[in-house]
């Protein structure tokens, strides 16, 4: 199962009975993700 919000800035998927959620920036890069708790990626690259 995969779900997007209407603006395409959040996403969730269920795989092997585990739900994973993501928050994306306007470049569609993951800026936070949640399995058990929200975590931030170590680095984010931006398109120039």
pLDDT at 48: 44
Q: What is the pTM of this model?
A: 0.60
Q: How far apart are CA 15 and CA 3, in angstroms?
A: 12
How does DSSP classify residue 44?
A: -
Nearest residue to 44 via CA among 23, 13, 14: 23
pLDDT, residue 44, reads 52
In this prediction, residue 47 carries a pLDDT of 52
pLDDT tens series, the chain, 48 aa: 788 787 878 888 888 888 888 888 888 888 888 877 777 765 555 554
Instruction: Report pLDDT for 5.
Output: 80
């Amino acid at each position: 199962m995969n779900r997007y919000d209407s603006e395409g800035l959040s996403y969730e998927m269920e795989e092997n009975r585990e739900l994973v959620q993501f928050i994306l920036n306007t470049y569609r890069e993951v800026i936070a993700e949640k399995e058990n708790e929200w975590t931030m990626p170590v680095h984010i690259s931006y398109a120039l």
